Amino acid sequence: MDLGAEFKEATDAAIKIDFSDPDKLTKDTISVFETTIRFVGGFLAAFELTDCKDLRLLDKAAELGDMLYVAFDNPNRMPTNTWSPKIALNFPEREQRPGSDDNIFAHLASLSMEFTRLSQLTGDARYFDAIQRITQVLHGQQASTKLPGMWPQRYDVENYDFRHGHKFTLGAEAHSGYEYLLKMVLLSGTESTSQYESMYKFAMDTAIDHLFFRPMVPDNSDILLSGKAIVHADGHTSLIPESEHLSCFVGGMLAMGGRIFQNETHLDTGRKLTEGCAWGYRTSPAGILPENYQTISCLSRSHCKWDVMKARGVEFRRGFTAACDPQYRLRPEAIESIFYLYRTTGDTKYQDIAWEMFQTIERQTATEFGNAELTNVMIDSPRKKDAMESFWMAQTLKYFYLIFSSPELISLDDFVLNTEAHPFRIPKP
């Protein structure tokens, strides 16, 4: 953004953060997932953006990588997610045990990009080795879950068993786990590339068959949304037409994958999913998609007409039947997909959609010192909360900035962005 002086000032401050003194941390434990995607990813991308010149940033990423590596120090080599820096620093390996830890699929499956790039940039293969073990476990069970191709939101953490969970989604607790399969195809540059490619394609075939649906909306827009699948005891699968802001990333991912693998079906599905999220923005009373919402799903993707009888009682909601969680948390996933659609198709209509969204979000969320999360976007003028997550700047604003910049800036031929939108350089053969 031509903010060179600010970048230098921020770097000088960030490299002084003392991760070796746990007494300075505000919590006793931290999340391996969040620390990896936000901190390690942030330091690595900042290092890349100095053209790999400011080695202090790489050293800091490696310092954190070494501390996080201890979370893998368990008999089965699988990482804990809740992790204590105090224990890690003193290295009593037996204290770092799985079992009492969280069992969220995304937390386990979304460490690959940062650990791989750390290995590539430092030449130390331990980090890649650590995450590749996770990939082997996921690969080994991909075909034997209750919805073959996808992994359940939650798994049996004692045995690293994914065969029993019956809830499947691309939203909360899952999404970056799938995102990283595709992005590892670009990043890994080794024989594991084909492994990630086949895992990604299998997962998306399943999602296309079981998770995506066409909602019935008053203007009959030909759009798709990503819902949830539940597999019942007798083996049959039901689609729940409940969608999340978080799952809006999937349109951009499919478009990017469609371009990489020259798959027009994926490109078109990605376009319709992205336009589904854009529909939610232009339709909700505040002009912003809620965190979690429900719509009426049509049985057919080709014939889906607004039916006044079926919509009786909910027509006042303009196609939304409910918003189980009506907040807006300044999340990026909708503009993220619109950005990818713009970069993959070159169609400037995505810039127009982005500009409408930007103006609405700015009008609704701006405060004196930053931007605020909203309590309820299903009313015209939502109340602001005293909260702003770091992903507002790392992701949401970055995608808005990039969609109005030259495609040469962070070109997707040269960079792949992690789930926190930190750009990593794609290794060239």
Which parts of this chain interact with ligand DMJ (CB under 6 A)? 176, 246, 331-332, 391, 419-420
Min dist. Cβ of residue 83 to ligand DMJ (A)? 18
| Nearest approach, Cβ of residue 419 and ligand DMJ (Å) | 4
Smallest separation, CB 105 to ligand DMJ (Å): 12
Assign residue 263 a region (left: φ > 0; alpha: ψ between -120 and 50; beta: otherwise).
Answer: beta
User: For ligand DMJ, which is the closer residue by CB, 41 or 98?
Assistant: 41
* Contact call for residues 277 and 215 (beta carbons, < 8 A): no
Other beta carbons within 10 angstroms of residue 168's beta carbon come to 25
Residue 119 Cβ vs ligand DMJ, minimum distance, rounded to whole Å: 21
Smallest distance, ligand DMJ to C-beta of residue 389, A? 7
Spatial separation of the C-alpha atoms in residues 250 and 252, rounded to whole Å: 5
Residue placing its CB nearer to ligand DMJ in the complex, 73 or 291: 291
Report strand pairing: 423-425 vs 415-417.
antiparallel
The token duo for 98 is 């799985």
State the minimum distance, in angstroms, from the CB of residue 172 to ligand DMJ: 8
Which residue type does 216 have? M
Amino acid at 399: Y
* Minimum distance from residue 93 beta carbon to ligand DMJ (Å): 29
Query: Considering the complex, what minimum distance in angstroms separates the CB of residue 219 from ligand DMJ?
Result: 28
**Cβ 216 vs Cβ 311: under 8 Å:** yes
- Are 347 and 341 contacting, i.e. CB atoms less than 8 angstroms apart? yes
Minimum distance from CB of 339 to ligand DMJ (Å)?
A: 13
422 phi, psi to nearest 5 deg: -85, 120
13 closest CA partner among 67, 57, 66? 57
- CB of 410 vs ligand DMJ, minimal distance in Å: 17
The helix/strand/coil state of 174 is coil
Question: Token match 């620390």: residue?
Answer: 35
Residue 73 or 333 having the CB closest to ligand DMJ:
333
**Token pair 């994914």 is at which residue?**
162
Q: Are 202 and 142 in contact (CB under 8 A)?
A: yes
Residue 27, classified by CB atoms within 10 Å of its CB into exposed (0-12), middle (13-18) or buried (19+), is exposed
Report whether 354 contacts 381 (CB < 8 A).
no
Give the separation between CA 306 and CA 319, rounded to whole angstroms: 9
CA pair distance 134, 89, nearest whole angstrom: 24
Cβ distance to ligand DMJ smaller for residue 251 or 319? 251
SS3 274: helix
Compute the Cα dihedral for 389, 393, 397, 399 and give only its sign. Answer: negative
Between 72 and 328, name the residue whose CB sits nearer to ligand DMJ: 328
Q: What's the farthest any 2 CA atoms get from each other in the chain?
A: 66
